[in-house]
Amino acid sequence: MTGEDRKQEILEALKNAVVQYDEDAAKEAAQKALDLDINVNDAIFNGLVSGMEEVGRLFEAQEYFVPELLMCADALYAGLDLLKPHAETMDLGVKGSVVIGTVEGDVHDIGKNIVKMMFDVAGFTVYDLGRDVPLDKFVEEQLRTDSDLVCLSAMMTTTMVGMQKVIDRLKEKNPDVKIMIGGAPVSKELADKWGADGYADDANNALKDAINMISSLKKMKEDAEAKKSS
């Protein structure tokens, strides 16, 4: 077997381990990838993450449901834990950090956890505040961690209004921070009205949007610094 074949085999094994929610298989394949000196970013993105993409498709097709999704995520984390320490800065074009949580009065956190997982996978540093998070906690945590992005989730029309308060308070303290909101009752229109920078209806779009936002944020900062120094 050539080196290239072997590599394909291991990427395939990583992918299957995630799809079949097999944590042990994921660890084993990740270890093999390290032993054989396979490029770690390759192993993560063309192995584990491509498995997760397949899981996303199965979820949309209603072949997989939330429990399957959570177990696939565990398999993915199992592989990721081994690979991540060896990864070069992940090549997404950006590297960001995000504060995420479900707003006060709301304990619906299944959707939030799925969104969070996407950020983990993409190499973001994630500060997960959990559910039923007091509104000011989002502001404090953003300031403490100097995160690029704050993600708010709400599943009820009553708790959703708390988001608006968080957005106002965050923007007042730190006009540069990007804020993304989501959850079933939230809409693009509301996000615009409340001055959020992003909205997504599912976890995949959340990640895409986040990456765009952070790139533009980084660019803004660089431009500002370039101006200062010139």
Partner 1 sequence: MTVDNSSPRQRILNLFAGKKTDRVPCFSGMGNVTTEGLKKFGYKFAELHSNAKMLADAAASTYKLFGFECGIVPFDLCVEAEALGCEINVYAHSDDILYPTIKKKLITNEEEMDIRIPSDVSNRGRMPLMKDAIRHLKSDIGDNAVIGSYVLGPFTLAGQIMELNDLLKLSFKKPDKVGKLLDNLSDVIISVAKEYESAGVDFITVREMGATSDVLSPRVFKSLILPYLKKVFSELKSANVLHICGKTNDIAVFMLESGAKAISVDQKNDVAETRKKIGSNALLFGNYDPYNVLVSGTPELVHETIKKCIDSGVSAVWPGCDIWPTVPPDNFKAMMDTVQQYRR
Q: Give the helix/strand (H/E) hosting 53.
A: helix 50-60
Nearer to partner 1, 129 or 214 (CB): 129
193 lies in the binding site for partner 1 (CB under 8 A)? no
Options 87, 143, 161, 190; binder of partner 1; rule CB under 8 A: 161
Partner that binds at residue 113, options ligand B12, partner 1, none, CB closer than 5 to 8 Å by kind = partner 1
Compute the distance between CA of residue 58 and CA of residue 60 in angstroms, rounded to an integer: 5
Nearer to partner 1, 33 or 78 (CB): 78
Residue 61 DSSP code: T
Residue 158 beta carbon to ligand B12: minimum distance, rounded to whole angstroms: 6
70 lies in the binding site for partner 1 (CB under 8 A)? yes
What are the DSSP calls for 179-226, one per residue?
EEEESTT--HHHHHHHT-SEE-SSHHHHHHHHHHHHHHHHHHHHHHHH
Residue 129-158 contact track with ligand B12, rule CB under 6 A, x = bound:
----------------------xxx-xxx-
Compute the distance between CA of residue 200 and CA of residue 210 in angstroms, rounded to an integer: 9
**Binding span for partner 1 by CB under 8 A among 40-48, 63-71, 138-146, 195-203:** 63-71
**Binding span for ligand B12 by CB under 6 A among 37-45, 99-107, 168-176, 212-220:** 99-107
Compute the distance between CA of residue 31 and CA of residue 185 in angstroms, rounded to an integer: 43
- Do 149 and 214 contact (CB within 8 A), yes or no? yes
Partner that binds at residue 71, options ligand B12, partner 1, none, CB closer than 5 to 8 Å by kind = partner 1
* Other beta carbons within 10 Å of 229: 6
181 lies in the binding site for ligand B12 (CB under 6 A)? yes
Compute the distance between CA of residue 156 and CA of residue 170 in angstroms, rounded to an integer: 21
Options 54, 120, 132, 202; binder of partner 1; rule CB under 8 A: 132
**Binding span for partner 1 by CB under 8 A among 44-52, 61-69, 140-148, 211-219:** 61-69
In single-letter form, the type of residue at position 217 comes to: L
109 lies in the binding site for ligand B12 (CB under 6 A)? yes
Nearest to 33 by CA among 51, 13, 18, 19: 13
- Do 124 and 98 contact (CB within 8 A), yes or no? yes
Residues forming contacts to partner 1 in the complex (CB under 8 A) are 62, 64-68, 70-71, 74, 104-105, 107, 109-110, 113, 132, 156-159, 161-162, 185
Q: Which residues bind ligand B12 (CB under 6 A)?
A: 66, 105-112, 114-115, 151-153, 155-157, 180-185, 200-203, 206
